[in-house]
């Protein structure tokens, strides 16, 4: 009897011990997830509070989800967001209990994550890590293996994160410099009929701007460019805008500029909110559909140049301050799209006061925006600002920003294209002198009513090619985007068919390919003072290579050091192709370039003889 009792007690002890171990195991259990490749988007869903976009407890302000990702000494704290039913892009759902985080792992290895969620009044705007009441989440911790990106990766998922280094952009995956070439129009790209909750509030009929009309974008001409296997939503929606990005990528372009908020602006058809009058509730299905487009752009190597506001609405949120509504807006953009490796934040189109838009943000408000984006974005994407077109306004608005650590560059607008080269040089010099070099891209060429005309009006684009494209790059600029003039067919608000500028994309690709394949442009500088003809541009890596752009019928002399024995080749800036060697001798400290192969624009490439 005693023996049986002892046996029973021993068995009971074993059962209790096993139960305790099982309970402990449950408490420390982590979720092991499938592997993912470096730079690729990785989403984790959590079952949290069951709520809705219009719930009395606002899901966008009353809850806060943070997820800490760690890999050795590397740590990223990433904000999560409300995702309704988890498939809102397809269902259009406005309610549900799914909360999501998106992550782009910057390096291979075994990553751990830990999610924390809190609730409380305006907790989403509270940066104190333990403020509010904690909410228990299932599978709040876990791990996943990140493999190096491989040959199957496409676009920025292969190139890695876009960032600035001095006056140029680079991609982290291959540590190579990146010259931008893309579209600045239509600026209301996201005013597209297949996105949920998208419509035009009123038409735009103001002097000095493009006429928007009633119809939002359809992009029907690009339906043909959608390919089998490309993404769609809601049973085939989105094919035309996805196809448009396929077309751009096929033309060798790598960037698209677009607004995420144009309430009170020109198009009046783009906002992330449930309504254009509600600034603290976000349209989940629309934003998920935006993400489908933006992730596809990444696979095609097209950077998302996100312009967060325009001059007419820069005081819409918090009177221009980085107050609660602007911070909430920024936080949602970062949470939902910050995982994209090819992304540029633009503080606003034509930011700052002008005669046509005097009610503008102040210097301090611009600084506050830049600082907040830089400190809140866990991936440290580039932060830039779009400028006004005239030199006087650039001086007033940009000078106080010189040396600002949180501002990485300028999205340049110039009213007279012949001034591009000098203007870019001027602001590169100013930013260098201030100790924070800016990457400057020529993104909106004037005059405002002309911009880049359609091919049927301007088939050769001679002045754009000479002054805005080659002129900006040979000033030390980091690339271009093309603005479609307000008084042109397919203008900056109404453009439906990007084939309307097919020749311009082709010539842009020629330039990008030339500088990437035949020069070390990041080590070069403008040397216009070494040529005798003021109508030509000169760009050099002194002692190594000299590039001279000669408009049709022009020639020049060039002052060189150690000119004897150098070689000359010609390059066609319109058609591209191989360099054409010139068989002759260049000697003396001042040389006269020989006659080009034909009476068209040509680029002379002079290479210094190696020792």
pLDDT at 184: 98
Element holding 47 (H helix, E strand)? strand 42-52
Domain, as residue range, for 504: 157-519
Looking at the structure, do residues 551 and 509 belong to the same domain, yes or no? no
In-domain check, residue 243: yes
pLDDT at 565: 78
pLDDT at 2: 39
Looking at the structure, do residues 259 and 318 belong to the same domain, yes or no? yes
| Lowest-pLDDT choice from 82-86, 214-218, 572-576 | 214-218
Cross-strand partners of 580: 570
Alpha carbon 160 to chain centroid, angstroms: 13
Cross-strand partners of 602: 550
Q: How far apart (Å, rounded) are the C-alpha atoms in residues 371 and 58?
A: 27
Alpha carbon distances (Å) from 298 to 39, 160, 255: 11, 10, 10
Looking at the structure, do residues 298 and 428 belong to the same domain, yes or no? yes
Q: What are phi and psi of 144, to 5 degrees?
A: -155, 150
The CATH number of residue 305's host domain is: 3.20.20.80
Predicted confidence (pLDDT) per residue in 487-522, tens digit: 988 999 999 999 999 999 999 999 999 999 999 999
The pTM score is: 0.93
Does 3 score more than 80 pLDDT?
A: no
Looking at the structure, do residues 149 and 161 belong to the same domain, yes or no? no
| Per-residue pLDDT band at 33 (split at 50, 70, 90) | confident
Decide which of 118, 134, 153 is a domain's last residue.
Answer: 153
In-domain check, residue 10: no
Average pLDDT, stretch 92-96? Answer: 98
Q: If we measure between CA atoms, which residue out of 410, 408, 403 comes closest to residue 382?
A: 408
Looking at the structure, do residues 386 and 497 belong to the same domain, yes or no? yes
Task: Return the sign of the alpha-carbon dihedral for residues 219, 223, 225, 229.
Answer: positive
Query: Where do we find the tokens 């209790």?
Result: 16
Count of CB atoms within 10 A of residue 318's CB? Answer: 16
- Number of separate domains in the chain: 3
In-domain check, residue 345: yes
Alpha carbon distances (Å) from 344 to 178, 296, 307, 565: 13, 16, 8, 44
Predicted confidence (pLDDT) per residue in 327-371, tens digit: 999 999 999 999 999 999 999 999 999 988 899 999 999 999 999
Predicted confidence (pLDDT) per residue in 400-412, tens digit: 999 999 999 999 9
Does 481 score more than 70 pLDDT?
A: yes
Query: Where do we find the tokens 């990437």?
Result: 516
Query: Where do we find the tokens 């995982």?
Result: 339
Looking at the structure, do residues 438 and 543 belong to the same domain, yes or no? no
pLDDT at 588: 83
| Per-residue pLDDT band at 205 (split at 50, 70, 90) | low
Average pLDDT, stretch 569-589? Answer: 93
Alpha carbon distances (Å) from 267 to 20, 222, 411: 63, 21, 20
Looking at the structure, do residues 404 and 424 belong to the same domain, yes or no? yes
- Count each helix (H run) and each strand (E run) in the chain, helices first: 12, 28
Looking at the structure, do residues 418 and 483 belong to the same domain, yes or no? yes
Q: How far apart (Å, rounded) are the C-alpha atoms in residues 159 and 343?
A: 12
pLDDT at 489: 85
Looking at the structure, do residues 55 and 190 belong to the same domain, yes or no? no
Does 24 score more than 80 pLDDT?
A: no
Q: How far apart (Å, rounded) are the C-alpha atoms in residues 46 and 30?
A: 13
Looking at the structure, do residues 539 and 511 belong to the same domain, yes or no? no
**Two tokens, residue 14:** 């074993």
Average pLDDT, stretch 79-91? Answer: 98
Element holding 514 (H helix, E strand)? helix 502-518
In-domain check, residue 25: no
Q: How far apart (Å, rounded) are the C-alpha atoms in residues 148 and 153?
A: 10
Looking at the structure, do residues 241 and 361 belong to the same domain, yes or no? yes
Q: Is 56 helix (H, G, I), strand (E, B) or coil?
A: coil
Decide which of 153, 183, 214 is a domain's last residue.
Answer: 153
pLDDT at 561: 76
Decide which of 456, 486, 519 is a domain's last residue.
Answer: 519
Looking at the structure, do residues 454 and 564 belong to the same domain, yes or no? no
Residue 293 makes CB contacts below 8 A (sequence gap 6+) with: 238, 241, 242, 245
Count of CB atoms within 10 A of residue 532's CB? Answer: 12
The CATH number of residue 113's host domain is: 2.60.40.10
Predicted confidence (pLDDT) per residue in 150-195, tens digit: 989 999 999 999 999 999 999 999 999 999 999 999 999 999 999 9
pLDDT at 10: 43
In-domain check, residue 209: yes
Element holding 12 (H helix, E strand)? helix 2-28
Rounded (5°) CA angle 198-201-202? 140
| Per-residue pLDDT band at 390 (split at 50, 70, 90) | very high
| Per-residue pLDDT band at 610 (split at 50, 70, 90) | low
């Amino acid at each position: 009897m005693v023996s049986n009792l002892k046996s029973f007690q021993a068995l009971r002890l074993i059962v209790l011990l096993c139960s305790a171990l099982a309970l402990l195991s449950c408490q420390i259990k982590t979720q092991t997830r499938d592997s993912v490749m470096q730079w690729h988007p990785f989403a984790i869903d959590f079952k949290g509070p069951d709520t809705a976009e219009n719930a009395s407890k606002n899901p966008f302000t009353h809850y806060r989800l943070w997820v800490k990702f760690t890999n050795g000494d590397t740590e990223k704290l990433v904000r999560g967001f409300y995702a309704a039913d988890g498939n809102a892009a397809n269902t259009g759902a406005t309610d549900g209990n799914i909360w999501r985080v998106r992550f782009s792992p910057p390096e291979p290895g075994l990553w751990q994550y830990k999610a924390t969620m809190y609730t409380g009044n305006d907790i989403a705007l509270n940066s104190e890590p333990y403020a509010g009441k904690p909410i228990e989440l299932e599978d709040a911790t876990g791990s996943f293996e990140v493999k190096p990106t491989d040959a199957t990766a496409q676009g920025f998922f292969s190139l890695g994160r876009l960032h600035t280094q001095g006056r140029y952009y680079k991609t982290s995956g291959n540590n190579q410099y990146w010259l931008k070439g893309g579209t600045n129009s239509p600026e209301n790209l996201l005013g597209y009929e297949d996105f949920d909750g998208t419509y035009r509030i009123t038409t735009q009929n103001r002097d000095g701007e493009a006429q928007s009309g009633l119809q939002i974008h359809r992009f029907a001409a690009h339906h043909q460019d959608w390919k089998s296997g490309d993404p769609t939503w809601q049973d085939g929606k989105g094919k035309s805008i996805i196809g448009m990005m396929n077309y751009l990528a096929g033309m060798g372009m790598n960037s698209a500029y677009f607004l995420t908020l144009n309430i009170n602006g020109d198009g009046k058809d783009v906002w992330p909110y449930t309504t254009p009058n509600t600034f603290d509730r976000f349209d989940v299905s629309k934003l998920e559909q935006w993400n489908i487009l933006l992730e596809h752009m990444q696979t095609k190597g097209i950077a998302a140049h996100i312009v967060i506001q325009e001059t007419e609405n820069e005081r819409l949120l918090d009177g221009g301050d980085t107050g609660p509504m602007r911070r909430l807006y920024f936080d949602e953009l970062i949470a939902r799209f910050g995982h994209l490796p090819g992304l540029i934040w633009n503080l606003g189109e034509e930011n700052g006061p002008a005669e046509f838009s005097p009610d503008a943000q102040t210097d301090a408000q611009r600084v506050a925006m830049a600082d907040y984006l830089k400190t809140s974005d866990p991936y440290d994407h580039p932060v830039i600002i779009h400028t006004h077109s005239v030199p006087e306004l650039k001086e007033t608005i940009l000078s106080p920003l010189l040396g600002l650590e949180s501002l990485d560059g300028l999205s340049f607008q110039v009213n007279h294209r012949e001034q591009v080269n000098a203007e870019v040089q001027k602001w590169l010099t100013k930013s260098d002198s201030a100790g924070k070099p800016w990457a400057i891209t020529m993104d909106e060429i004037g005059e405002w009513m002309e911009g880049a005309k359609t091919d049927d009006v301007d088939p050769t684009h001679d002045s754009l090619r000479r002054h805005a494209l080659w002129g900006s790059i040979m000033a030390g600029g980091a690339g271009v985007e093309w603005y479609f003039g307000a008084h042109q067919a397919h203008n900056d608000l109404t453009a439906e068919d990007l084939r309307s500028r097919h020749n311009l994309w082709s010539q842009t690709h020629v330039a990008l390919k030339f500088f990437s394949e035949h020069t070390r442009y990041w080590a070069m500088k403008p040397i216009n003072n070494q040529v005798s003809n003021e109508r030509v541009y000169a760009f050099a890596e002194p002692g190594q290579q000299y590039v001279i752009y000669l408009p049709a019928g022009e020639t020049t002399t060039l002052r060189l050091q150690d000119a004897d024995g150098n070689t000359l080749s010609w390059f066609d800036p319109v058609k591209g192709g191989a360099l054409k060697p010139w068989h002759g001798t260049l000697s003396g400290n001042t040389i006269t370039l020989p006659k080009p192969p034909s009476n068209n624009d040509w680029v002379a490439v002079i290479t210094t003889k190696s020792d």
